[in-house]
Chains A and B, each alone.
Chain A
Amino acid sequence: MKTESMIDVLSAHAGPVPRHVTERRFAIAAMIGVTLAAVLMLMTSGVRADIESAARLPMFWFKLLFPAAVAVAAMWMTARLSRPGVSVGVASIAVAAPFVVLWLMAVVALLNAESAARIDLVLGSTWRTCVPDIALLALPAFVATFWAMRGLAPTRLALAGAAGGLMAGAIGAMVYALRCPEMESPFLAVWYATGIGVTAAAGALLGPRLLRW
């Protein structure tokens, strides 16, 4: 086809462009991701048995706040990477900040603990199941986030995939925190970070395959 006639065709069939497509798609993805993860968690194990007394402790809320902060920052980063020519910018700092805070807390807690008690602070009693459970609960958000990105135009596919995986992993961790009985920051610093990291790595691997346009 001649380029000139292609232009005629394209401009003849073009109406007004819908506004705020990026925001809308990511809002939908986050909502679906959180809702389905919550349903999945309630159907399998339910919330932790002592949730009423645990909810009075600051650590319970920090455990929700940390992944929530990562999820919001990662969503911002993913949305930026989903549009051509938009750099990651300060979104990467926003993503890193919650991790830095958590890791500092963990180091302080470990330094203050007896050396014999340190290993328990890291392993808790559920370290074996933490990472796979977070990854499982992240699955709906992972699919939804990739759906959101596929309607947009990421140009750095591995990086965009990693950011999307990060967002999904953080949503999975946030919902998992409602059922997880661990209350020590070293545990979170290792296993929550690993669970979120695994989904981010999966996103980086799948991005180039799933996000092409």
Chain B
Amino acid sequence: MQRTALEAAGRAESRLRDLMVRAQEGDAAAYANFLRDLTAHLRAFLRKRLYQHLDDVEDITQEVLLAVHKQRHTYRPGEPLTPWVHAIARYKVVDLLRARSSREALHDAIDDEMQLFAQSDQEAGEARRDIAKLLKDLPDRHRLPILHVKLDGLSVAEAAQRTGMSESAVKVGIHRGIKSMATKIEGPQ
């Protein structure tokens, strides 16, 4: 399974690189295809890594897309495309999360004053954080199906397509994953 994933990445690299080279020569249709393809890859990549910030994935995807667009003159045809995109995505994600965490620190300071009114809201936030913490400890084959189906609301078939797993593996992953999360919440018997 790992090998097929690598092969798929290699195919995506050469297809995207081909589109990018044509786009740099001024082919607008190739560029639109490049951006569309890249968006799908970015979204999946970010969703997998930013499970604590799933609400922001679409925003961050757009930020990265915009950065790729603005900096496309720094890609040199003939060089591998994956490290170029990855470096941009990484830079933008770190930048945005840093900005966000300093904003949130500000909110926390404000929340202190208004704790009484913020109570219910805060609980919801904490609940989600706990789930994220529990999810983090799950192996990918359990975590990704739960993420896609239970949190993103995708169908089992869509989740199977996105993760490269079979539909039954997705269902089993959800079932076992939720069971092991439940066990952890209850603590050792």
Q: For B24, give its contact among A16, A83, A152 (CB under 8 Å).
A: A16
Interface flag for B102 (CB, 8 Å): no
Most buried by B among A15, A17, A84, A155: A84
| Contact, CB under 8 Å: A8 / B32 | yes
Interface 1/0 per residue, B57-75 and A, CB below 8 Å: 0100110011101111111
A194 CB–B CB distance under 8 Å: no
- Choice from A3, A16, A21, A85 contacting B83 with Cβ under 8 Å: A85
Q: Of B24, B25, B83, B91, which is in contact with the most chain A CB atoms at under 10 Å from its CB?
A: B91
Taking a contact as CB atoms closer than 8 A, the residue among A7, A8, A17, A86 that contacts B73 in the complex is A17
Q: Is A12's CB within 8 Å of the partner chain B?
A: yes
| B:89-107 near A, CB below 8 Å | 90-91, 95
A85 x B23 contact (CB < 8 A): no
Contact A155 B91 (CB under 8 A): yes
Q: Does B6 sit within 8 A of A, measured CB to CB?
A: no
Taking a contact as CB atoms under 8 Å apart, the answer to whether A7 and B84 are in contact is no
Check if B73 sits within 8 Å of A1, measured CB to CB.
Answer: no
Main secondary structure of the interface of B (DSSP, over half): helix
A117: Cβ under 8 A from any B Cβ: no
A6 at interface by CB-CB < 8 Å:
yes
B86 CB → nearest A CB, Å: 6
Chain A 138-158, CB within 8 Å of chain B: the 1/0 string?
000000000000001101000
- B65, A84: Cβ atoms closer than 8 Å: no
Give min CB distance, B124 to chain A, whole Å.
27
| Pairwise interchain contact A83-B76, C-beta atoms closer than 8 A | yes
Q: How far is the CA of A69 from the CA of B116 in the complex (A)?
A: 66
* Of the residues B69, B75, B84, contact of A10 by C-beta under 8 Å: B69
Q: How many angstroms from the CA of A10 to the CA of B90 in the assembled complex?
A: 21
Question: Is A11 in the interface zone, CB < 8 Å from B?
Answer: yes
- Closest CB in chain A relative to B58 CB, distance in Å: 6
Interface string of A84-99 (1 = CB under 8 A from B): 1110000000000000
Contact of B88 among A3, A7, A17, A155 (CB under 8 A): A155
Cα distance, A17 to B62, chains bound together (Å): 21
Chain B min CB distance to A108 (Å): 42
Assembled-state Cα–Cα distance A7/B58 (Å): 13
A14 at the interface (CB under 8 A from B): yes
Could you tell me the distance in whole angstroms from the C-beta of A11 to the nearest C-beta in chain B? 4
A35 within 8 A of B: no
| B72 A7 Cβ-Cβ under 8 A | no
B28 touches A14 (CB 8 A): yes
Chain A interface residues (CB < 8 Å from chain B): 1, 3, 6-8, 10-12, 14-18, 21-22, 82-86, 152-153, 155, 212-213
B positions within 8 Å CB-CB of A: 23-26, 28-29, 31-32, 35-36, 39, 58, 61-62, 65-67, 69-76, 79-80, 82-88, 90-91, 95
26 contacts between A and B (CB under 8 A): A3-B65, A6-B66, A7-B32, A10-B65, A10-B69, A11-B28, A11-B31, A11-B35, A14-B23, A14-B26, A16-B25, A16-B26, A17-B26, A17-B73, A21-B73, A22-B74, A83-B84, A84-B83, A84-B91, A85-B82, A85-B83, A85-B87, A86-B79, A86-B83, A155-B91, A212-B95
